[in-house]
Amino acid sequence: MSPRITRKRSRTKEDDNDQPPAKREPELDSPQSGVGAGATSTSGSTSGGSAHPHAEQQTGQGQASDRDDEFWFEDGTVILVAWNIEFRFYKGLLASVSPVFKQLFADCRAVRTVRMDQDQTFSCPVVHVPDSPEDLRYLLRTCSSKRPGRLYDEREPSYQEISAAIRLGRKYQIAELYSQSVEFLQSYFPNIFLEQRQTAALLPPGWKELDAIGVVNLARLTGELSLLPSALVTCICAKSTGPNGIVHGNTQADGSEEHLSPNDLAICFNGKTSLRTATAAAAFRIFKPIDSRVCKRPAACNTAIREVLRSLEDNLGLLLDGDPFPSLRSLCGPRGSIAVCPDCMDMLQERSLREWSGVWDRLPELLGIHVPGWGAPPPPQAEVGAT
């Protein structure tokens, strides 16, 4: 069922000799300014969203369009026009996964006569979409995948791919694409504290810290608010472009830019103070003196604990600028160890887990945001699949 993908040379209409003059109906064949539910415009906005340097090119009319290098199938049954790039793809395939595309095709009155083979021509519908060519290309790759089912089990998608999949999956109501892409984000930006996790978010391979700006915007766009706390904390702690990196936004390889909204920038600035205060307070509580009910040689162990506290005083940067959920080992100075008895070590490990779990549970409060169900345990397994 899936079409075979072939790469073809990009050609402009001017050098297209297998195609008669376009029978466009200009009054009908116009860009659709808002397709389906949740349509978003890619033009203009540079605040709390994305903008592309070529956004002004999305007129679609009165200028030559290029065929896409990757998606121009000679037996394709619909032409999609994204800005100045044309994609010839399979109408039935898109309609089968997207009720929005299905309706767009049903409503489309603009056609162009194209060749199907040596002898036959075909009145091919021409549908303009307001999406960027890059986004549409990601979408068509997914739709033409030979392996439906789990999209991300065997490979790690880039940020741009996940962003396009969630925005276009939502807009064109491609349920599986949308839900699997949100699940992928949730696995890296979780809402429950994981013991082995020492940072708010473990970035997917190849992603930059500032890609978390886009994750915040996707959470706002979709209402998937459980993504917000760890994405905001990643923004707060991002160091890759200096302390003010989040102010200047994130630029992708294709030149598109993404910025936090003023409201989310304010949340980051205010939340940073609250988060760092909570981290420092938790660290000092972990190293409270231990009493003789736990330890058989409390004097020696408490001397070692005081030594760690003293080293923390000399290294406040660790608490003010480092990981907001530092491991016990990282708090114990350059050697990464503390000379206490096994019972005291168990106690410190237990305190550490309890304190960082407590900070995690308070993240929405510390950031001043509301996240329904934050930190809630998963539903009981017994109810799953009950008949």
Give contact residues for Zn ion (rule: CB under 5 A). 295, 301, 340-341, 344
Q: What's the closest the beta carbon of residue 354 comes to Zn ion, in angstroms?
A: 18
Q: What's the closest the beta carbon of residue 302 comes to Zn ion, in angstroms?
A: 8
For residues 212 and 347, which CB has a smaller minimum distance to Zn ion in the complex?
Answer: 347
Q: What's the closest the beta carbon of residue 340 comes to Zn ion, in angstroms?
A: 5
For residues 219 and 340, which CB has a smaller minimum distance to Zn ion in the complex?
Answer: 340
Opening angle at CA 170, ends 165 and 173, nearest 5: 110
Instruction: Give the helix/strand (H/E) hosting 275.
Output: helix 262-286
* Chain centroid offset of residue 316 CA: 32
Q: What's the closest the beta carbon of residue 325 comes to Zn ion, in angstroms?
A: 25
Q: What's the closest the beta carbon of residue 256 comes to Zn ion, in angstroms?
A: 56
- Separation CA 72–CA 179 (nearest Å): 28
Question: Which of 144, 135, 138, 132 is closest to 157 using CA atoms?
Answer: 138
- Separation CA 226–CA 159 (nearest Å): 18
Give the residue ranges of DSSP H helices in 35-174: 91-97, 99-107, 133-143, 159-171
Q: What's the closest the beta carbon of residue 300 comes to Zn ion, in angstroms?
A: 7
344 phi and psi angles, rounded to 5 deg: -70, -35
3-class DSSP state of 204: coil
For residues 146 and 293, which CB has a smaller minimum distance to Zn ion in the complex?
Answer: 293
Instruction: Determine how many CB atoms are found less than 10 A away from the CB of residue 148.
Output: 12
Order of strands across the sheet that contains 257-259: 49-51, 257-259, 250-251
Q: Report the amino acid identity of residue 264.
A: D
Q: What's the closest the beta carbon of residue 46 comes to Zn ion, in angstroms?
A: 57
330 phi and psi angles, rounded to 5 deg: -70, -25
For residues 270 and 349, which CB has a smaller minimum distance to Zn ion in the complex?
Answer: 349
Q: What's the closest the beta carbon of residue 345 comes to Zn ion, in angstroms?
A: 8
Name the burial class of residue 115, with classes exposed (0-12), middle (13-18) and buried (19+) by CB atoms within 10 angstroms of its CB.
Answer: middle
For residues 108 and 348, which CB has a smaller minimum distance to Zn ion in the complex?
Answer: 348
Beta bridge partners of 114: 122
